[in-house]
């Protein structure tokens, strides 16, 4: 089969790799009908280290082609959503809603498990990992369902971590797919005013479509000054950090109101230095978040996607065949696309 592999610095290729096979009785083989490129994939894409090529990608939906003998909840032909990590959905951590810390789980593209940007994937712990959706692979809902594999659930995690509730005033740092989905999640949770920090017209247009009421284009210290000016000098009660850099962290802490909450989901990238603990201590801030356990959120969000009341699909502003995956990475790397959806070649 064909699968996307990263070979080094900005070197993405669609390679021939062995077809996946059932190894453990709890495995299933999924034929991928749609996948996508994540902003976190770009951190790997931009690394200059020498590497052994490996399969990349962690967001996909598809159709079950084969199920192992211990798989009881899935059958051939089921359309399924794959969260961005696999898990058994039964261990102590999963029962606490932390599927990303599953005692028997893992990630795509490592330890002999296929990456998501390919034609097929062996899914370990299939019963616990995959979520069935009552649609066919040609459904118009596929892009929105694909967003549940990561970015919509991650945006929801960010909004929850930030304590967003009915009537909240929220700031969102980051205008990528996760930040935009955080706007949508905040709106869904009842936020009254949502400010997106963005200077890109295409992204602010989607943010407004998702529920943003205000836009702040400034960055760094200027962004903090502007935010204070617009909040009576106090800042925001609820701040979502969806970038992961030192600057985004400083901005998030700087615009948070004393006693406020920062929900963070941006994959940390160079954000371990220069973040002042005093900003958190002195302002009595609550800071929480991390890698989103999207498997825990899919049952809550899926019905609303199916009935059309929740539609995160506009974050996919570009669609390409899998054979053009390298172009998709370049488009996102150069910020000419927000998020690229990949379909199998005809």
β-pair type (214-216, 318-321)? unpaired
Q: Which domains does the chain have, with CATH numbers?
A: 2-150+295-343 (3.90.180.10), 152-289 (3.40.50.720)
What is the pLDDT tens value at each position of the chain, 346 positions in all? 999 999 999 999 999 999 999 999 999 999 999 999 999 999 999 998 889 999 999 999 999 999 999 999 999 999 999 999 999 999 999 999 999 999 999 999 999 999 999 999 999 999 999 999 999 999 999 999 999 999 999 999 999 999 999 999 999 999 999 999 999 999 999 999 999 999 999 999 999 999 999 999 999 999 999 999 999 999 999 999 999 999 999 999 999 999 999 999 999 886 666 677 888 999 999 999 999 999 999 999 999 999 999 999 999 999 999 999 999 999 999 999 999 999 999 8
Q: How far apart are CA 341 and CA 322, in angstroms?
A: 9
In our burial notation (b when 16+ CB lie closer than 10 A, e otherwise), range 175-214 reads bbbbbbbbbbbbbbbebebbbbbbeeeebbebbeebbbbe
Which positions ≥6 away from 281 have C-beta within 8 Å? none
Contact 293, 98 (CB under 8 A): yes
Q: How far apart are CA 277 and CA 61, in angstroms?
A: 41
């Amino acid at each position: 089969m064909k699968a996307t592999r990263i070979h080094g610095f900005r070197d993405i290729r669609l390679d021939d790799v062995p077809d996946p096979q059932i190894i453990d009785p709890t495995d299933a083989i999924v034929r991928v009908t749609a996948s996508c490129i994540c902003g976190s994939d770009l951190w790997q894409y931009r690394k200059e280290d020498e590497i052994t090529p490996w399969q990349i990608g962690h967001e996909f939906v598809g159709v079950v082609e084969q199920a192992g003998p211990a798989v009881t909840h899935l059958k051939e032909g089921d359309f399924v959503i794959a969260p961005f990590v696999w898990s058994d959905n039964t261990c102590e951590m999963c029962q606490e809603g932390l599927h990303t810390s599953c005692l028997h789980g893992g990630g795509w593209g490592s330890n002999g498990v296929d990456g998501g940007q390919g034609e097929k994937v062996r899914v370990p712990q299939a019963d616990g990992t995959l979520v069935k959706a009552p649609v066919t692979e040609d459904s118009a809902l596929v892009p929105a369902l694909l967003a549940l594999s990561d970015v919509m659930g991650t945006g929801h995690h960010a909004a929850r971590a930030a304590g967003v509730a009915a009537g909240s005033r929220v700031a969102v740092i980051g205008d990528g797919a996760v930040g935009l989905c955080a706007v949508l999640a905040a709106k869904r949770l009842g936020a009254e005013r949502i400010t997106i920090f963005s200077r890109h017209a295409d992204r602010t247009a989607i943010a407004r479509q998702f529920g943003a009421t205000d836009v702040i284009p400034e960055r760094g210290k200027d962004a903090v000054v502007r935010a204070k000016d617009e909040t009576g000098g106090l800042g925001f009660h609820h701040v979502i950090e969806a970038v992961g850099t030192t600057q985004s962290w400083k901005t998030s802490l700087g615009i948070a109101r004393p006693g406020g909450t920062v929900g963070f989901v941006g994959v940390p990238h160079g954000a371990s230095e220069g973040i002042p603990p005093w900003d958190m201590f002195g302002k009595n801030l609550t800071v929480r978040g991390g890698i989103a356990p999207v498997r825990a959120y899919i049952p809550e969000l899926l019905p609303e996607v199916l009935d059309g009341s929740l539609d995160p699909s506009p974050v996919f502003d570009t669609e390409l065949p899998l054979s053009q995956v390298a172009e998709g990475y370049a488009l996102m790397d150069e910020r000419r696309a927000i998020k690229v959806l990949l379909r199998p070649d005809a």
